[in-house]
Structure 1
Amino acid sequence: MNLAGLDLNLLVVFDALIQERHVTRAGQRIGLSQPATSNALARLRKLTQDVLFIRTEGELRPTPVAIALAAQIQPALGQICHALTPELPFVPATSDRVFAIGLSDYTAFLLLPPLMQYLGEHAPDIVMQVRTGERGKLLRGLDTGEVDVICGIFPEQTPWHNSQLLWQEDFVCVCREQHGTIRQQLSLEEFVAADHLLVSIAEDRVGRVDRFLKQQNLTRHIALSVPHYLVAPFVLAQTDLVATLASRVAYSLRQSQSLKLLPLPIPLKPFSVFMRWHQSHDNDKAQMWLRSRLSEISQTLVEGNPVN
């Protein structure tokens, strides 16, 4: 059947007739006159090639065809009404919404503890599902609806994604307190001569430090490359490796892992952490609430950064 040639208002009339079992009352239910309702019933009978309703004493009795149609048409009309109903207010205190957030271990380490503390106090039934993966996967997740929001380093510009800067992150050089050769100052020569641990989400052995050193005709020895930030401090604590790490992670773990933090002997620019979401969810009340919470938490990270 070609829906373009079908008057969908007939389905509304049919539903009213099923509900009221009376032509006049069905018309009153949907704002039609008795003749208009009778005319619509005649068109329905022609469309379905069935009488649909049999007149009995005091009411119309639906035929088996009408009963079968009602079982399919009434849920469909209900779904249409639901889709067109204005969105209800989002009440986090009583919501059991499941949010999917795309995070690396670095952003999860910084955002999840304060976020979950807030939820425990203000929205205890809300659930967070963390998704991870390389940047392309997380960006595609926004397009497919697998994730509501993603937080991380996203230099790509996508016109149908909106974004907000959360914070900027500096780098520090990190090694264990009892490192065999590195003291309280670190020269460029000592830095290049050390054995390095590299955090590379791309799972390669080239980072921004190496690109800078190449410009100076210098190289360093990378003894270990890992794809996760949070394993690095624990490896550093038990070896003489050094690493260039995001300052907030390093400062958070320096005491528990007996780490020494030193200024980098090379001028690395800070990197920016963004929150991104799909434009189609720009006015979604639940997602607006989540983005607001993440923004507030990020602001506390900026204000509490010991490097600033």
Structure 2
Amino acid sequence: MNFSLNQIDLNLLVVFDALMRDRHVTRAGESIGLSQPATSNALARLRYLTKDELFIRAKSGLQPTPVAIALAQQIQPALQQIQIALSSAESFEPMTSDRVFAIGMTDYVEFVMLPPLLEKLEQIAPHAKIQIRTGDRQQLFDLLDNGKVDLICGVFPEQIPWHQEQLLFQEQFVCVCRQNHSLIKDSLSLEEYLATSHLLISIKEDMVGRVDTLLAKQTLSRNITISIPHFLVAPSILARSDLIATLAKRVANSFAQDLHLKVFPCPITIDGFSVFMRWHQSTRNHTTHKWLRNILAATAISI
């Protein structure tokens, strides 16, 4: 497909991007201010230009063809770069700006980072607004790559060439149980750890965690009574049962006093994890993005 730019209505690229994002003609049109007939007409013109169907109807919505997927890999970054180039000319004054910053975070990072972040913003950017988007690791990557968020924060072991990142903080694991636990008193031995029942937090929604893999290497095992996908309810469950859980230290310490929980070092060696913020390389020199990254980095130092 060889075209001269003066032969193409570049607005069609905006329609194409919306269709890739929403996979629905009506919703895509609404997101860019077009009616359903106008969006359908634009899709017909795109099909004529590319000599390809581009999108095929399916039960789950419009499914892109291989040609559409290949085009999106070029068009989406180009549109994002144009948007950044246009917005970079805008002045940014933190004390008066009412800009909405979109940040992708896991629920753990929300819990740890948002309270001190909002406290800081009240002082230096009182009119700024924060929109939090959440999801698993791949969903956060998609939000970032599609320009739905300014940056993302979480645990990201995978390296992606067009992402840049900065370490925010490191975390370690501890063991938590209620103060009047029937078995565990003033210390926690490996024998006691294995003898009691466990609560597991698993985003995969299964009954096996990192600890179980480590124990299996030593021909040991533990009894998992309940597995939950989110950590916030865990401290309340621990406070009302004889379960024990292996939790991130910052979470455990936050709940320990109010819920009468005891916190112990883990009786097995388990590596902690590092929390990073990531941004698309196309925003690396954008003044407002750099300001946001600096604020998050400063917030991380304080937690």
Candidates 279, 289, 292, aligned match of 1:290: 292
Q: How does 1:1-308 map to 2 (within 5 A)?
A: 4=6, 87-301=89-303
Name the larger-Rg structure: 1
What corresponds to 2:49 in structure 1? none
Cα pair 1:174 1:242 within 8 Å, conserved? yes
Judging changes above 3 Å, is the alpha-carbon distance between structure 1 residues 2 and 131 closer, same or farther for their aligned structure 2 residues?
closer
Q: Residue 198 of structure 1 contacts residue 244 of structure 1 at CA under 8 Å; is this kept in 2?
A: yes
- Secondary structure, in 3 states, of the residue corresponding to 2:144? helix
Instruction: Give the Cα–Cα distance (whole angstroms) in 2 for the partners of residues 260 and 197 of structure 1.
Output: 15
The alpha-carbon deviation at position 204 of structure 1 amounts to: 1.8
Contact 1:166–1:298 (8 Å) recurs in 2: yes
Q: Which runs of 4+ in 1 moved over 4 A?
A: 1-6, 82-86
RMSD value over aligned CA atoms?
2.1
Code of the residue aligned with 2:157 in structure 1: it is: P
Distance in 2, matches of 1:289 and 1:122, equals: 11
- In 1: Cα distance, 2:103 partner to 2:238 partner: 29
Q: Is the 8 A contact 1:152 1:273 kept in 2?
A: yes
CA distance in 2, matches of 1:86, 1:179: 57
* Conservation of the 8 A alpha-carbon contact between 1:179 and 1:240: yes
- C-alpha change, 1:214 and 1:123, in structure 2 (3 Å) is same
Please tell me the residue identity of whatever aligns with 1:142: L
Q: Does the 8 Å CA contact 1:101/1:149 hold for their aligned counterparts?
A: yes
Amino acid aligned to 1:170: Q
- Number of equivalences: 227
Deviation at 1:89, TM superposition (A): 2.9
In 2, the alpha carbon distance for the partners of 1:3 and 1:211 equals 56
Question: Within 1, Cα distance between the matches of 2:116 and 2:198?
Answer: 32
Distance change in 2, residues 1:218/1:280 (3 Å): same
Quote the sequence identity (%).
54
Q: Is the 8 Å Cα contact of residues 134 and 202 (structure 1) preserved in structure 2?
A: no
Alpha-carbon separation, structure 1, partners of 2:195 and 2:210 = 17
2:88 and 2:140 map into 1 onto residues whose CA distance is 30
Does the CA-based 8 Å contact 2:88-2:287 persist in structure 1? Answer: no
Amino acid at match of 1:128: I
Per-residue Cα deviation, 1:237-281 (whole angstroms, up to 9, x for no partner):
111100000001111111011000011110011111111111111
Structure 1: gaps (5+ residues): 7-79, 302-308
1:4 shift after superposition: 4.3
